[in-house]
Amino acid sequence: MSARFDAIGMVVSDMAASVAFYRRLGFAFPEGAEAQGHVEAGLPGGLRLLLDTEEVVRSFHTEWEPPSGGGRTSLALRCDSPAEVDTIFAETVDAGSGFELKPWDAVWGQRYAVLLDPDGNGVDLFAPLAVNGQ
């Protein structure tokens, strides 16, 4: 089999808002991406995050409609420490982003929080909690 996982694609309603949100989380989109209909950011391991505007999707799929009832996609970003979860969450919310869940210590042993991108998709922030006081 030659098919391999290569990219995560998301449809966005406002490219500028989405690029600004994901840049705050460390995604490197090229200069001028805010004004494009399709943009890509390279991810560790060779994967890519692809963002397409609704207009671009409708250019080849004329009957496409955005899903109703909130986001249906989520990304999970591993942070280096529980403190980094809190810092990234606070900085992103202070910049105007919405959120679903404030940082908390989850029973499965992680500091966890859920931001919302401009289209309501969840972006989970997590880091392992200290083990044995470390």
What pLDDT digit, counting tens, does each position of 46-93 carry?
999 999 999 999 998 999 888 887 666 889 999 999 999 999 999 999
Q: What is the rounded CA–CA span in Å between residue 133 and residue 37?
A: 48
- Residue 110: predicted pLDDT: 95
Mean pLDDT rounded to a whole number for the chain = 91
Give the separation between CA 93 and CA 98, rounded to whole angstroms.
Answer: 6
**pLDDT exceeds 60 at position 33:** yes
Predicted confidence at residue 2, as pLDDT, reads: 80
To 10 degrees, the CA torsion angle through 41, 34, 73, 78? 50
What does 86-116 look like in DSSP terms, one character per residue?
HHHHHHHHHTT-EEEEEEEE-TTSEEEEEEE
> Closest by alpha carbon to 75, among 131, 33, 117?
117
pTM of the model: 0.85
Averaged pLDDT for residues 89-106:
96
- Asked if 122 and 130 count as a contact pair (C-beta separation under 8 A), the reply is no
Count Cα atoms within 13 angstroms, Cβ side, for 23: 14
Q: Is the pLDDT of residue 133 over 60?
A: no
Give the pLDDT mean for 87-111.
95
Q: How confident is the model at residue 131 (pLDDT cuts 50, 70, 90)?
A: low
